[in-house]
Amino acid sequence: MFESLTQRLSGTVERLRGRGRLTESNISEAVREVRIALLEADVALPVVQALIQRIKVRALGQEVMRSLSPGQVLVKIVRDELALVMGSQAAELNLNVPAPAVILMAGLQGAGKTTTVAKLAKHLKDKRKKKVMVVSADVYRPAAIEQLQTLAGQVGAVFFPSQASQKPEAIVRAAIDEARKTFADVLIVDTAGRTSIDDAMMAEIKALHAAVNPVETLFVVDSMTGQDAAVTAKHFGEALPLTGVVLTKTDGDARGGAALSVRYITGKPIKFVGVGEKPDGLDVFHPDRAAGRILDMGDVLSLVEQVEAQVDQDKAKKLAEKVAKGKKFDLNDMRDQLEQMQNMGGLSGLMDKLPGVGQLPEHVKQQVTGKEVPRMIAVINSMTKKERRNPDLLNGSRRARVARGSGQTPADVNKVLKQYQQMEKMMGKLGRGGMKGMMRGLSG
Ligand code: GDP
């Protein structure tokens, strides 16, 4: 749901990439770009201001200035702050009350309330192994009651029937009794959609809330309405003690302004996001992961930490010195690097942490990860010392010999040599930047 934000912010990150120390002016410039990106994503102004203020203070502080890869640190700061403004950790549903735990759903008409009741029932049933009953207190639209009945059937929730002639409170009281008798763990109550903030309707849901004392009162709101979603939720929150928000239709929202605004504006966490029309289109909302996705950086930071911790520092230093002196990166060096990769458990563990690469189909990943590394090492081991130092010697007949010796095909040998050429080219480019430059290359 954050595609547009991601796009803009990656432009900002790109411009900082590979820079040495940052100056106050290019930090300010980057912060300005972040601000524009947030405004364009329809994040509410007070949220943008608070975010920018915090990002600026941290970015201009020691943290970034003293760092060797300031662009990266800035990314981390922005990511941390985005996560924080959305609540950091996922907010669980509270079901720790004597059964049945009542969940009251509120929201504007068309927000996706009834659909969400069914999705939530499925979630609680499948993920938390609860017996779930649903009931509709929407006495204004008989069709809404039928819609819920159909959906309940689809997700395997118990449906408690109600009639348009009944009072909402009476319906819910009867449902609670039935839930108790039949040992349902959770009762989810759908309510009438309010088309706007209508006093009579508000009074009704307030009375309903007081009568049934739900442990969770969730406000369902359409993500496509951007920062208005947060404002509507705030109004509801002033009348009803909400415990959380469900943001629907995030699959159609490229901006994410609602997701970023709700928590700050309402003080209530987003507990779930709707990600599709089907009953399984509901995800627990994880602010930290969402923030990570906004910057589309996967887990680059921990990747860098991991690489730094596991690289054989002596060898890395020697290689850096060698490259810095303009000496040729040869197949011995490549073998060293491959061995280090192997020590890290192949690339696959690392690749999953990368945003783009992590998404690749498994068979593509296999080509470049784990299983390839030992084969590549075998190929290099079958070369003579001289060939490793001077790969240009490897003509057709030598390649064929290496293939036989390593039990691989000539195509495998060619692949290794091709990868070698790419690495060699990259090393040449790094020149005096040495290993540190390469780390920076890795870490963006
Ligand atoms: P209610 O009036 O608030 O009860 O809204 P409904 O549950 O009837 O939903 C209104 C429309 O929004 C329906 O067409 C749903 O299929 C659709 N909808 C609800 N949630 C989502 C979602 O997360 N993604 C998408 N794409 N559509 C949704």
The model's pLDDT over 37-64, given as tens digits with 9 standing for 90+, comes to 899 889 999 999 999 999 888 887 766 6
What CA–CA distance (Å, rounded) separates 279 from 211?
A: 29
Task: Kindly state if the Cβ of 298 falls inside 6 Å of ligand 1.
Answer: no
Would you state the pLDDT for residue 293?
77
Task: Kindly state if the Cβ of 110 falls inside 6 Å of ligand 1.
Answer: yes
| 192 assigned to a ligand binding site | yes
Hey, which of 134, 225, 248 would you mutate to test ligand 1's pocket, going by the most ligand atoms within 8 Å of its Cβ? 248
What CA–CA distance (Å, rounded) separates 191 from 145?
A: 10
What CA–CA distance (Å, rounded) separates 397 from 47?
A: 67
For 244, the token pair is 């959380």
Closest residue by Cα to residue 175 from 211, 203, 229, 147 = 211
Atom 9 in ligand 1: which residue has the minimum CA distance? Answer: 112
Select the highest-mean-pLDDT range: 112-126, 248-262, 311-325, 418-432.
112-126
Domains and CATH numbers, the chain: 3-86 (1.20.120.140), 101-293 (3.40.50.300), 300-443 (1.10.260.30)
Omega cis (within 30) before 241: no
Mean pLDDT on 3-8? 78
Task: Kindly state if the Cβ of 276 falls inside 6 Å of ligand 1.
Answer: yes
What CA–CA distance (Å, rounded) separates 223 from 254?
A: 10
User: For a pLDDT cut of 90, what percent of the chain falls above it?
Assistant: 47
Atom 2 in ligand 1: which residue has the minimum CA distance? Answer: 110
Mean pLDDT on 141-163? 93
Mean pLDDT on 227-245? 91
Q: How far, in Å, from the CA of 267 to the mean position of ligand 1?
A: 25
Whether the pLDDT of residue 372 is over 90: the answer is: no
Mean pLDDT on 310-320? 68
Element of type H or E holding 33: helix 24-40
Strand partners, 141: none
CB 298 within 8 A of CB 355: yes
Atom of ligand 1 nearest to the CA of 275: 23
Q: State the amino acid at position 2 in one-letter form.
A: F
Would you state the pLDDT for residue 401?
95
Q: Interface pTM (ipTM) of the complex?
A: 0.98
What CA–CA distance (Å, rounded) separates 79 from 300?
A: 12
Would you state the pLDDT for residue 79?
86
Whether the pLDDT of residue 4 is over 90: the answer is: no
Whether the pLDDT of residue 333 is over 50: the answer is: yes
Atom 27 in ligand 1: which residue has the minimum CA distance? Answer: 277
Place of tokens 């602010």: 287
Task: Kindly state if the Cβ of 283 falls inside 6 Å of ligand 1.
Answer: no
For 123, the token pair is 């979630």
Contacts of 275 (CB under 8 A, 6+ apart): 250, 251, 281, 282, 283
What CA–CA distance (Å, rounded) separates 404 from 78?
A: 53
| 338 assigned to a ligand binding site | no
Strand partners, 270: 245
Helices (DSSP H) in 198-330: which residue ranges? 199-212, 227-239, 257-266, 287-294, 300-310, 313-324
- The CB density around residue 356, as the number of other CB atoms within 10 Å, is 9
pTM: predicted TM-score of the whole model, two decimal places: 0.69
